[in-house]
């Protein structure tokens, strides 16, 4: 009986494994100072990237990711929110340089995605697994950004671990803000990445 091949079965013929190896190994973090300032990525591309994010694996069909996309004037709202929250709470530890960075760093990006984990409450899924699923979604973002010839990186700096920041990103107390993914057009590519030999990280047990 004839069975039509699933799309997944056709993928090796369309994207060779060797090509995917190159994509995975040449994906690099590209930081805001390497972006082409003021160049905006087409929103439609970002939409495609976010669809890829939501196709990450998850345990128990929990889909625990929760993203907000900031662009245009939205970048200014994010910059203003994070810098003012810092100012309100820093007290005697206030540093002008940190305040300045929180105000200006987002404006270097074309789009910034806040990376949220919405805690699964309907099933018995450990928190680590909700976080892991969101990290898989972020890797889909990383690879998609690379495939589109764009630059980006995941940052956990600034207000990431401030519990008072959560509502701004649509997160409740039990949820987690896991950071931000900055995206921009690349002016200065990243070079010089290294990894340890896999023998140091991968053990084979064959008998």
Question: Cβ 1 to ligand FMN, closest distance in Å?
Answer: 46
- Interface with ligand FMN includes 29 (CB under 6 A)? yes
- Between 75 and 178, CB nearer to ligand FMN: 178
- Interface with ligand FMN includes 98 (CB under 6 A)? no
What tokens were used for 11? 């993928």
- Between 163 and 193, CB nearer to ligand FMN: 193
**CA–CA dist 180, 158 (Å, integer):** 10
**CA–CA dist 94, 78 (Å, integer):** 19
Question: Cβ 16 to ligand FMN, closest distance in Å?
Answer: 22
Within 13 A of 175's CA, how many CA atoms are on the CB side?
24
Contacts of 175 (CB under 8 A, 6+ apart): 66, 116, 117, 118, 119, 166
**CA–CA dist 51, 37 (Å, integer):** 26
**CA–CA dist 104, 76 (Å, integer):** 9
Count other C-beta atoms under 10 Å from residue 198's C-beta: 8
- Interface with ligand FMN includes 99 (CB under 6 A)? no
- Interface with ligand FMN includes 101 (CB under 6 A)? no
Contacts of 90 (CB under 8 A, 6+ apart): 98, 99
- Interface with ligand FMN includes 38 (CB under 6 A)? no
- Between 65 and 153, CB nearer to ligand FMN: 153
- Between 59 and 101, CB nearer to ligand FMN: 101
Q: Binding residue for ligand FMN (CB under 6 A) from 54, 157, 162, 174?
A: 157
- Between 122 and 196, CB nearer to ligand FMN: 196
Site for ligand FMN in 117-156 (CB under 6 A): 153-156
Instruction: Give the binding site for ligand FMN (CB under 6 A).
Output: 28-29, 153-157, 179, 190, 193
């Amino acid at each position: 009986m004839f069975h039509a091949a699933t799309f997944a079965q056709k993928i090796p013929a369309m994207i060779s494994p060797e090509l995917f190896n190159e994509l995975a190994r040449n994906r690099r973090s590209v930081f805001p100072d390497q972006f082409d300032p003021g160049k905006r990525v087409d929103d439609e591309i970002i939409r495609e990237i976010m669809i890829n994010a939501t196709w990450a694996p998850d345990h128990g069909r929990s889909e625990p990711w929760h993203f907000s996309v900031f662009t245009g004037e939205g970048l200014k709202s994010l910059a203003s929110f994070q810098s003012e929250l810092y100012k309100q709470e820093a007290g005697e530890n206030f540093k002008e340089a940190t305040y300045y960075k929180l105000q200006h760093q987002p404006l270097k990006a074309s789009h910034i995605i806040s990376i949220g984990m919405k805690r699964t409450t309907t099933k018995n899924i450990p928190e680590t697994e909700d976080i892991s699923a969101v990290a898989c979604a972020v890797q889909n973002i990383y690879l998609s950004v690379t495939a589109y010839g764009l630059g980006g990186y995941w940052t956990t700096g600034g207000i990431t671990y401030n519990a008072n920041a959560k509502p701004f990103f649509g997160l409740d107390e039990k949820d987690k803000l896991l950071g931000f993914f900055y995206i921009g057009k690349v002016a200065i590519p990243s070079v010089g990445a290294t990894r340890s030999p896999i023998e140091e990280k991968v053990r084979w047990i064959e008998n």
